[in-house]
Amino acid sequence: MHATGDRYDVVVVGVGGMGSATTYHLAERGLDVLGLERYDVPHTRGSSHGITRIIRRAYYEHPSYIPLIDRAYELWDALADETGREVLHRTGSIDAGPDGNVVFEGSLRSCEEYDIPHEVLTSEEVTERFPGYRLPAGHRALYQPDGGFVVPEQSIIGHVEAAQAAGAEVRARERVSEWEPTADGGVRVETDRGTYVAENLVLAAGAWTHKFADALEGLAVPERQVLGWFQPDRPETFAPDNFPVWNLKVPEGRFYGLPIYDVPGFKIGKYHHRDEQVDPDDYETEPEREDERLLREVVENYFPGAAGPTMRLATCMFTNSPDEHFILDTLPDHPQVAVGAGFSGHGFKFASVIGEILADLAVDGDTDHPIEMFRLERFDDRS
């Protein structure tokens, strides 16, 4: 199929992690696809940045994610082969917490249910093997050798380049203002530069997605996050070869971190950083002293070798669903519109397979991937 004028098979709103992958998978199928991004490709205004993003096979959030993460690994490796961009780095992963906590127990359950290679370590054993760690006494840790990180900016560039090579059109610095259904069952998309008509639409605009779909009101809520990079006294201890990515539950909260890569400093973040629900068009984007303090405190307590000078602070956004599971579906009143939203701070690792799923939903209205737990209908009985 070929576009005539400004008519396309599919328009994708948002060309970040999910949207770039969707644009690629659609173009690879021979469809005429237009990707629209209001900022740069890539950019630092939303959720698809931060230099490194964790990927892990052990999944404490729910074992149902395991088939999707297996496919995501395959697609990340395939993207690297196709583009020559090294987007996936395996460092191993640590999921640790006190007895009974979901971070450790859930990860262990997922590994046992899906026969994923893993080891269970004590705090002391973690430190002996990986000296950068000083986990609390009594914590248990699950080590999984396939964990690591995805490089978000490179993955977006790779997906966009591959999409363009397959015939996709991608336009940055073009803001979508609204869309509406057409009489023939398609969509009309209005931007600050023009009007486009398509058979199908994909909404993958991150923290802005809820502004384009009434069905997502209260279901895809943006939250301000801050990441920190702190300089270790012995950087080699926190290099990718010596320091697995990690998730950790401690009295201060639930935190995650990654080794030094590409920029100075060991990286750390806190889930639901300061519990700040925000409007993505109007929030404090400059990190504050309190943001730095709560991150540094945990570095000092559990990774003291990395508690040197602050190298970098950066804001981003989570978009949380009520149950913190993804939203992947078509809109109830507009089946020609597919949505990917509510990734709740743990979605980027899945971007490669989310793109495949959203392409399926846009073209076929359904997918062979197991997404039953991510459908919008699960919220139908909300009081």
**What CATH number is attached to the domain comprising 345?**
3.50.50.60
159 counts as catalytic? no
Stretch 356-371: mean pLDDT: 97
- 22, 23, 52, 91: which is the annotated catalytic residue? 52
Q: Which residues share a beta bridge with 226? A: 315
Active site residue 52: yes
Average pLDDT over residues 84-108: 96
| Mean pLDDT of the residues in the chain | 96
Active site residue 182: no
Mean predicted confidence (pLDDT) in 85-105 = 97
- Per-residue model confidence (pLDDT) at position 5: 53
In angstroms, the CA 50 to CA 261 distance is: 11
Which of 273, 300, 317 is where one domain is finished?
317
Burial of residue 218, with CB atoms counted within 10 A of its CB: 0-12 exposed, 13-18 middle, 19 or more buried: exposed
Has residue 1 got a pLDDT over 70? no
pLDDT at 131: 98
* Total domains present in the chain: 2
Within 107-252, strands assigned E span 119-122, 140-144, 148-150, 169-171, 176-181, 187-191, 195-203, 221-230, 245-250
Percent of the chain with pLDDT over 70: 98
Q: Please indicate, yes or no, whether the overall pTM of this predicted structure exceeds 0.85.
A: yes
Which entry of 38, 57, 139, 267 is annotated as an active-site residue?
267
- Residue 332 and residue 215 in contact, taking contact as beta carbons nearer than 8 Å: yes
Helix (H) / strand (E) containing 283? none
Based on the fold, state whether residues 110 and 228 are members of the same structural domain. yes
Domain presence at residue 80: no
Q: Please give the residue range of the domain that contains residue 103.
A: 91-148+223-317
Same structural domain, 140 and 255: yes
Residue of 272, 296, 375, 378 marked active site: 272
Q: Could you tell me what percent of the chain has a pLDDT over 90?
A: 97
Average pLDDT, integer, range 241-261: 98
Mean pLDDT, to the nearest integer, of 83-87? 97
What is the pLDDT at residue 4?
45
Nearest C-alpha neighbor of 356 from the set 340, 372, 345: 340
* Given 316, 325, 330, 334, the catalytic residue: 316
Where does the pLDDT of residue 382 fall: very low under 50, low under 70, confident under 90, or very high at 90 and above? low
Q: Which of 25, 38, 45, 49 is catalytic?
A: 49
For residue 3, the model assigns a pLDDT of 45
Mean pLDDT, rounded, for 151-168? 98
Other beta carbons within 10 angstroms of residue 117's beta carbon come to 11
- Domain-ending residue, one of 291, 317, 343: 317
Rounded distance between C-alpha atoms, residue 191 and residue 6, angstroms: 12
Q: Report the distance separating Cα 321 and Cα 40, nearest Å.
A: 26
Element (H, E) at 11: strand 7-13
Whole-angstrom Cα distance, residue 347 to residue 19?
13
Q: Which amino acid is at 142?
A: L
Q: Count the helix, strand and coil residues of the chain and give each as a percent rounded to the nearest 5.
A: 30, 30, 40
- Residue 185 and residue 284 in one domain: no
Q: Looking at residues 187-205, what average pLDDT do you find?
A: 97
Calculate mean pLDDT across residues 231-239.
98
What CA–CA distance (Å, rounded) separates 65 from 351?
13
| C-alpha distances out from residue 279 to 95, 207, 211, 327, Å | 32, 8, 10, 19
Q: Which of 281, 298, 317 delimits the end of a domain?
A: 317
Does residue 66 belong to any structural domain of this protein?
no
On whether both 311 and 366 belong to a single domain, the answer is: no
Give pLDDT, residue 178: 97
Catalytic residue flag (residue 43) = no
The CB-side HSE value for 349 (13 A sphere, CA atoms) comes to: 24
pLDDT at residue number 210: 98
132 and 230 assigned to the same domain: yes
267 is catalytic: yes
Catalytic, out of 25, 53, 57, 270: 53
Quick check: 10 and 19 in contact, CB under 8 A?
A: no
49 is catalytic: yes
Residue 134 pLDDT > 60? yes
pLDDT, tens only, 270-320: 999 999 999 999 999 999 999 999 999 999 999 999 999 999 999 999 999
CA 223/CA 273 separation, integer angstroms: 9
Cα–Cα distances (Å) from 156 to 79, 153, 159, 209, 350, in that order, read 10, 5, 5, 18, 13
pLDDT of residue 209: 98
Average pLDDT over residues 358-373: 97
Note the pLDDT of residue 6: 79
With cut-offs at 50, 70 and 90, classify the pLDDT of residue 2. very low
Which residues, listed in sequence order, are joined to residue 181 by a DSSP beta bridge? 187
- Report the chain's C-alpha Rg in angstroms: 21
Domain CATH code at residue 291: 3.30.9.10
Flag whether 1 is in a domain. no
Q: Is 272 annotated in the active site?
A: yes
Is residue 64, in this structure, part of any structural domain at all? no
